[in-house]
Amino acid sequence: RASRAGVLVVGTGEAGVRVATTLRELGDDRPIVLCGDEPHPPYQRPPLSKAFLDGTAGHADLVLRTPEFFRDAGIEVRTGRRVTDVEVDGSGGGSAMCEGGDTVEFDQLVLATGARSRPLPVDGRDLDGVCALRGLDDAERLRERLITARRVVIVGGGYIGLEAAALASTRGLAVTIVEREDRVLSRVSADPLPAFLAERHREWGVEFEFGADVREIVGDGQRVQGVRLAGGRELPADLVLVGIGAVPETTLAEKLGLEVRRGIVVDAACRTSHPRVWAVGDCTVQPHPHLPGELIGVESVQNANDQARAAAAALAGIEPPRPPVPWFWSDQRDLKVQIAGISDGYDQYVVRGTSEPTVLYYRDGALIAAEAVNRPKDFLAAKRALAKGQTIAPEAAADPATPLKELITDRG
Ligand code: FAD
């Protein structure tokens, strides 16, 4: 079957859906086709490691937009259709081949292909009881396993591992997080937040193996029985969750010869190295806000939505909105962690409060990021300062008695 679209969006996640809905909000009435390889209607991922895994949210709570919404908006959603090949001409038009033989001719192309779970490159990774957590199918498998599991090993102390550990430990399961570095969240945070979270998790009964490398996942040939660490020690497990990060999905971008450096390289309007092909969300890397020449990938709902808005504006021929402040959240039992800004490249940090800390990150004396635990006012004040290009005096910020919003000043 051959069909035609004004705009073809590959990927039906947060970013792909937002491109399509923003185009409609901007009055673009061309035919839009959203093509995704997963069999499910477009859904949200954050609850997969939170309320959905917990069993307090079901499929209906994950829905990004209803089928009626898409129908009324004239957006065609094709699920279960992997785009296997794509060709683009100089004007950005071209054609895409889908699994099953469909082809879609398009005038403009947006890649919103997201990311895949990074596989753990050791023997035993395919044993029954070894799980990842990226998509709805993964979450369903893990949710079911958690009902019967007794000993869980989580490989990777990132946000997904911590959220899963917080949940598994509420059920009285024995949970161990194995982390190669000497703390959790080592890629994104300075010491204070990782130390605080590890301490809380320990109080919940979670154990940590830091500086530990998994060499093999062991089993009886069929079912998982544990993980073997470098040095030979074995941790018994009947469920292993691998949460060691995500790899941007760039296969189509590479086929098109686009510039790919870990993710698809895009500019502020989410243009790829082909000036008429756009890419948005977890599959991209963009210039770093305060480190010239560096590219970063931000895996968050906010980034997916804001990049999608920028791309849709550019596609509709409108000036893209000003780049917003990146933000992110994580729920771990009674803890809500909120993050604003990008802390990479910080040269100083200030900790505010001791029980549930706020950490403010600075570069050359100016605020660049903040992490807040159960302190939404701190988070909002920092986000507001960052949005206006302002700062918060580090000396005064350490005193939790002074509201941060009273300390916002122009940069010196
Ligand atoms: P995705 O949602 O990954 O969507 C991309 C889609 O494209 C996928 O369905 C993929 O299968 C499909 N695709 C890929 N290649 C093809 C192809 N060739 N043809 C067709 N389809 C294709 N962010 C937060 O801000 N806060 C949170 O608390 C939070 N929690 C999270 C918890 C979990 C368990 C996970 C996995 C992520 C979480 N995130 C969170 C991150 C956030 O969900 C992602 O940043 C966001 O979903 C990215 O959206 P996306 O559209 O770029 O990619």
Residue 362 pLDDT exceeds 90 = yes
Is the CB of 32 within 6 Å of ligand 1?
no
Is the CB of 45 within 6 Å of ligand 1?
yes
Is the CB of 386 within 6 Å of ligand 1?
no
If you average pLDDT over residues 103-109, what whole number do you get?
96
If you average pLDDT over residues 275-304, what whole number do you get?
94
Is the CB of 133 within 6 Å of ligand 1?
yes
Tell me the per-residue pLDDT of 64-90, one tens digit each, with 9 for 90 and over: 999 999 999 999 999 999 999 999 998
- Top mutation candidate among 77, 113, 270 for ligand 1, by most atoms within 8 Å of CB: 113
- Least Cα distance to 357 among 203, 193, 195 occurs for 193
Look over the chain and give the mean of its residue pLDDT values, rounded to a whole number.
96
Question: Alpha carbon of 212 to those of 197, 209, 215: distances in Å?
Answer: 19, 6, 9
Tell me what pLDDT residue 321 has. Answer: 83
Tell me what pLDDT residue 65 has. Answer: 96
Is the CB of 282 within 6 Å of ligand 1?
yes
Tell me the per-residue pLDDT of 302-361, one tens digit each, with 9 for 90 and over: 999 999 999 999 999 998 888 889 999 999 999 999 999 999 999 999 999 878 999 999
Q: How far is it, in rounded angstroms, from Cα 269 to Cα 110? A: 12
Q: Is 363 or 187 the better-scoring residue by pLDDT?
A: 363
Band of pLDDT at residue 289, cut at 50, 70 and 90:
confident
Atom of ligand 1 nearest to the CA of 298: 45
Quick check: 366 and 391 in contact, CB under 8 A?
yes
Tell me the per-residue pLDDT of 203-252, one tens digit each, with 9 for 90 and over: 999 999 999 999 999 999 999 999 999 999 999 999 999 999 999 999 99
Q: How many CB atoms lie within 10 A of CB 1?
A: 8
Tell me the per-residue pLDDT of 113-137, one tens digit each, with 9 for 90 and over: 999 999 999 999 999 999 999 999 9
Q: How far is it, in rounded angstroms, from Cα 126 to Cα 132? A: 11
Determine what percent of the chain is predicted with pLDDT higher than 70. Answer: 100
Tell me the per-residue pLDDT of 57-67, one tens digit each, with 9 for 90 and over: 999 999 999 99
Q: How far is it, in rounded angstroms, from Cα 166 to Cα 170? A: 7
- Least Cα distance to 392 among 242, 82, 383 occurs for 383
Instruction: Using the mean position of ligand 1's atoms as its centre, give its distance from the Cα of residue 114 in Å.
Output: 5
Q: Where are the beta strands (DSSP E) in 234-365?
A: 234-236, 239-242, 246-248, 260-261, 263-265, 277-279, 284-287, 295-296, 327-332, 335-341, 348-352, 358-363
Is the CB of 225 within 6 Å of ligand 1?
no
Tell me what pLDDT residue 313 has. Answer: 96
Instruction: Using the mean position of ligand 1's atoms as its centre, give its distance from the Cα of residue 365 in Å.
Output: 35
- E strand or H helix at 115, and its extent? strand 115-117
Atom of ligand 1 nearest to the CA of 98: 19
- Least Cα distance to 184 among 200, 197, 203 occurs for 197
Atom of ligand 1 nearest to the CA of 284: 52
Atom of ligand 1 nearest to the CA of 299: 45
Is the CB of 183 within 6 Å of ligand 1?
no
DSSP secondary structure string for all residues of 226-258: EEEETTS-EEE-SEEEE-S-EEE--HHHHHTT-
If you average pLDDT over residues 136-164, what whole number do you get?
97
Q: How far is it, in rounded angstroms, from Cα 44 to Cα 54? A: 15
Is the CB of 179 within 6 Å of ligand 1?
no
Q: How far is it, in rounded angstroms, from Cα 127 to Cα 214? A: 15
Residue 1 pLDDT exceeds 90 = no
With H, G, I as helix, E, B as strand and everything else as coil, classify residue 386.
helix
Band of pLDDT at residue 273, cut at 50, 70 and 90:
very high
Residue 412 pLDDT exceeds 80 = no
Residue 160 pLDDT exceeds 80 = yes
0.85 surpassed by complex ipTM? yes
Tell me what pLDDT residue 47 has. Answer: 97
Is the CB of 371 within 6 Å of ligand 1?
no
Q: How far is it, in rounded angstroms, from Cα 97 to Cα 214? A: 39
- Top mutation candidate among 258, 282, 325 for ligand 1, by most atoms within 8 Å of CB: 282
Please name the residue whose Cα sits nearest to atom 38 of ligand 1: 46
Half-sphere exposure of 40 (CA within 13 A, CB side): 17
Instruction: Using the mean position of ligand 1's atoms as its centre, give its distance from the Cα of residue 113 in Å.
Output: 8
Cβ burial 98-108 (10 Å sphere, 16+ → b, else e): beeebebebbb
Residue with tokens 């490398």: 213
- Top mutation candidate among 102, 250, 299 for ligand 1, by most atoms within 8 Å of CB: 299
Tell me what pLDDT residue 292 has. Answer: 87
Tell me the per-residue pLDDT of 165-178, one tens digit each, with 9 for 90 and over: 999 999 999 999 99
Band of pLDDT at residue 410, cut at 50, 70 and 90:
very high
Instruction: Using the mean position of ligand 1's atoms as its centre, give its distance from the Cα of residue 285 in Å.
Output: 15
